[in-house]
Structure formats: structure tokens, C-alpha cells
Structure 1
Amino acid sequence: MRNEDITLTAGDAEVTVQPGNGGRVGGLRVDGTELLRQGERFGCFPMVPWCGRIREGRFRDGATVRQMPLNSPPHAIHGTVRDGSWRTARVADGEAVITYDLVEPWPHAGRVTQAVALTPDALTLTMSVETYDDSFPAQIGWHPWFHRNLRGADARLDFAPAWQEERGDDHLPTGNRIDPKPGPWDDCFGMPDGVRVTLTWPGFLELAVTSPEHWVVVYDEQDAAVCVEPQTGPPNGLNTLPRLVTPLQPLEATTTWSWRRI
């Protein structure tokens, strides 16, 4: 099927999926208000086959050291699939499924599948990475850019992580876990009972980002947006906390954004 934009509606919620633009969610509108920052590189993009930065673009893959392009020098950032064109597998009532076959510079064959499901009060994103060839380490995550200000009010951010990954001068976790510090952040946090971060725009909407995964990056250093990024491991995780994709065991993850009017 063609990779043109897909629009799903449920009640007064509407989501746009963009297979041709890195498989991202290009927009989410509730009561006619767009929640996501607009633009070719914004919305909410999938982070696969790694999340955040890989130190100097290198990671150990069995006995081999792999080198990824340094698209955020001196590191490689946010995977490869956001730069590619996905294919639409199917569109049904309230759900779209899109796929992407991993290609160079990623050294292994594999397929990424993302399902986008919309109800009147929630959006659920589910992603998997599978292979029928060699096993390889991978990560899954999402990078949404929520508007900081909606209907004249700035978002309030509320979450209770168990720890914060100490960030080194190279912008990567040092391996030390510290007590959470006040923002602004471009930091990874541990939530071993599952990710739950709430964004509240006073007078309009409360939105909870949840996931069974144990890691979330919060980025709120820009005036225009707040990013809440659930993921299967910390930045540089291909080196420090690899999750293996095998022919018998895909890597799977999910996140749900649920909202209520206030």
C-alpha cells in the first residue's frame, strides 16, 4: 500500500499517522486543539533500533564493534527508522499498522511494526522489532513533542521517578543513579513500576503518558515543547543494557497517552 498520511478519528479526537515521514504521528487533536508541535521533524517519532545517543556512534554487537553515522556529533542519536519511509500494512476502524524494514546503516535485517490505535480518550502506540536472520541488540522508544502552551496555559509536569541517571559532560549517563533533581531536564529517569508522567494544561486537559517500560527521558529545555519519551532502556543502552532481538524473540513495547478534560 502507499505511504500517504493516514487520519484516524474517534469521538472528538483525531490522529494523523505519517508512514512516509519516518513512521511518526504527525498530529493529535483533541477538541480541535493540536497537542503536538508541528513540523517535518516534530510530532512524535519512533526511536528504533536505539533510543537517545550512542557514545561516539559505536556499540558492541557480539564480537564486532559497529559504527553508526554521527548525526549528533560526537554521537549517533535516535535510531534510523525516523529517517525512512514506512509502508502501510492495514487501516481499520480506529487503528493503523505500518511497517519498516531495517536497512543500512543498520547492519542487520529486521522488520519494525508499529500499531496506532485511537479511542475517544486515549492513543496507544505498540511497536515490535523482529528478525528471521541474525540476532542483534536493539531498543524501542517514542519521542513526542507536546506543545508547552495550549489555550494560553503552560503545561505542568508531574512524575515520581525512583532515580535519575546522572548525566556526564558528554550528555550520556555515567552509570550512577542519583536522586531526581529539579528541571529543566534532558535526562533519563528510572520508573521500575512502569512509566507514568502527567502533563496538565490548566483549564483544558490532563494527559498521562504511561508504559510498562522502566525508562523515560524528559526533555523540556525548549520554550516551545515538552518531550516525554518512554523507552526500553537508557541512552547508550546498546552498550550498557542491551536487549536482544532473536528469531524466536522479538523486542516489543507499548505506550498509551490517555486524557481527560478539566
Structure 2
Amino acid sequence: MSNDEITLTAGDAEVVLAPGNGGRVRSLRVGGTELLRQGERFGCFPMAPWCGRIRDGMFRDGGMVHRMPLNSPPHAIHGTARDGAWRVARADRAEAVLTFDLVDPWPYAGRVTHLATLTEDSLTLTMSVETYESSFPAQIGWHPWFNRTLDGVDALIDFSPAWQEERGDDHLPTGNRIEPRPGPWDDCFGMPDGVDVTVTWPGRLELKVSSREEWVVVYDEQREAVCVEPQTGPPNGLNTLPRLVTPIEPLEATTTWSWRRL
């Protein structure tokens, strides 16, 4: 199938997927209102096979040291899948499956699969990384850019993390867990019972971001957007908390965004 954009609809909700632009969710409209920041780099992109920054672009796998391109000097950021064209495996009115084969500069063979399912009041995204060859460390997650302002009303972010990862001057976790601090944030938080973050535009819309994963990065340092990023490990996790993808055990994660009008 081609990598032209795919539109999913359910009730008055509409999602546009852009396989040719990193497999991202380019648009989410509810009752005609766009919830995602628009632009080639925005929307919501899948992060794979790592999330956030890798320190100096380097990670170890056993005795091997691998180097990724420094696309956010001095670090590598957000994986390689967002930079490639994805294939459309299946698409119908309210559901689509996209795939991306891992290639250079990632040193291992593997495939990322991204399933998007839309209902009248929710969007569920499920991602997996699998391999039929060598096992390798990986992370996956999502990087949505929600519009900060809807109809002139600014978003409020509400969540109750168990801890905040202390952030060093290099923007990476130091390894210390601290009491959650007030924003603005470009920070990783731990939610052991699962990610549960509510973004509210008072009087307009409430959007809940949930996931069984226990890590979430919240980024609200830009005027235009707020980001709530569920992921399978913290930034630099390929070095500090890798998840292993093996021929018999893929890495899988799911996030659901559910909304209601206020």
C-alpha cells in the first residue's frame, strides 16, 4: 500500500496518519477542533527504538559500543523511526497498522509496528518492536504535541507522579529520584501504577493520557504546545534501564488518549 496520508473517523473524531513522515499522527480533531500542533515536526510521532536523549549518542550492548548520530548535540534524541517512511500494512475506517523496518544507523535488524484505533471518544496507540535475528536493547514511546491553547483557553496539566528524575545540566537524569517540582518542565516522572495525566482546557475539553508504562516525560517549555510522553524507560534508558527485544519476546507498549467535552 502507498504511504499517502490515512484518515480515520469515528463519530465527530478524526485522525490523520502520515506514514511518509515518520508514521506520525499528523492531526486529531474532535468536533472540528484540532488538538495537535500542526507542522512537519509536530503532531504525535512514535519514538523508537529509543526515547529522549542518549548521552553523547553512545550506548553499550554487552561489550559493543554503538554510536548514533548526534541530532541534538551533544546527544542523540527520539530514535530513528520518526525520520523514515513507514509502510501501511492495513487500514480501514477507524483503524490502521503501520510498519517500519529498522535500518542504518540503528545496528540491529528489527521491525516496529504501530496500530492506531479510533473510537468516538478515544484514540489507542499500540507499538511493538520485534526481531527475528540478534537480540538488542530498545525503548519505545510517543511524543504528542498538544496545542497549548484551544479557543483562547490555555491547557492545564494535572498528574500525581511518585517521583521526578533529577535532571542534570546536560538535560539527562542524574540517577537521583526527587520530589516532583512545579513546572515548567522538560522532565521525566515515575508513575508505578501506570501513566495517568490529564490535560484540561477549562470549559472546552478534558483529555486523559494513560498507559500501563510507568515513565512519562512532560514538556511544556514552549508557548505553542504541551507534550505528555508515555514511554518504556527514562531518557538515556538504553544505558540505564534497557528493555531487551529478543526473537521470542518483542517490546510492546500502549497508550490511550480519551476525551470529553466540558
Same fold by TM-score greater than 0.5: yes
The corresponding residue for 1:201 is 201
Matches within 5 A, 1:165-204: 165-204=165-204
Alignment map for 1:81-160 (pairs within 5 Å): 81-160=81-160
TM-score by length of 2: 1.00
- How far did residue 92 of structure 1 move? 2.2
How far residue 154 of structure 1 moved from its aligned partner, in angstroms, is 0.2
**Partner residue in 1 for 2:74:** 74
Instruction: State the alpha-carbon separation in 1 of the partners of residues 160 and 198 from structure 2.
Output: 10
CA contact (8 A) 2:7 2:93 kept: no
State the shift of 1:216 in Å.
Answer: 0.1
Cα separation, 2, equivalents of 1:91 and 1:145: 24
Give the C-alpha shift of residue 61 in structure 1.
1.2
| TM-score normalised over the length of structure 1 | 1.00
Q: After TM superposition, what 4+ stretches of structure 1 lie above 3 angstroms from structure 2?
A: none
The equivalent residue for 1:218 is: 218
Aligned AA for 2:249? Q
Amino acid at match of 2:44: C
Q: 2:58 aligns to what? A: 58
CA distance in 2, matches of 1:161, 1:169: 22
Look up the match of 2:18: 18
- More displaced stretch, 157-166 vs 84-93: 84-93
Say whether the 8 Å CA contact 2:23–2:45 is kept in structure 1.
yes
Q: Partner amino acid for 2:106?
A: W
| Contact 2:81 2:100 survives alignment (8 Å) | yes
Is the 2:95–2:116 contact (alpha carbons within 8 Å) kept by the matching residues of 1? yes
Give the distance between the partners of 2:155 and 2:68, measured in 1 at CA.
36
- Secondary structure at the counterpart of residue 29 of structure 2: strand
The CA deviation at 1:152 is 1.1
| Superposed displacement of residue 222, structure 1 | 0.2
Q: Aligned letter for 2:244?
A: L
**Structure 1 SS opposite 2:65:** strand
CA displacement at 1:73 relative to structure 2: 0.2
Deviation of 1:93 after TM superposition, in Å, equals 3.4
What is the identity, as a one-letter code, of the residue corresponding to 2:120? P
Cα shift readout 1:133-183 (whole Å, capped 9, x = no counterpart): 000000000000000000110001100000000000110000000000000
Identity %: 79
Q: Give structure 2 stretches of 5+ with no counterpart.
A: none
Distance in 1 between residues matched to 2:110 and 2:233, nearest whole Å: 19
Q: Is the 8 A contact 2:16 2:26 kept in 1?
A: yes
For residues 159 and 224 of structure 2, what CA distance do their matches in structure 1 show?
20
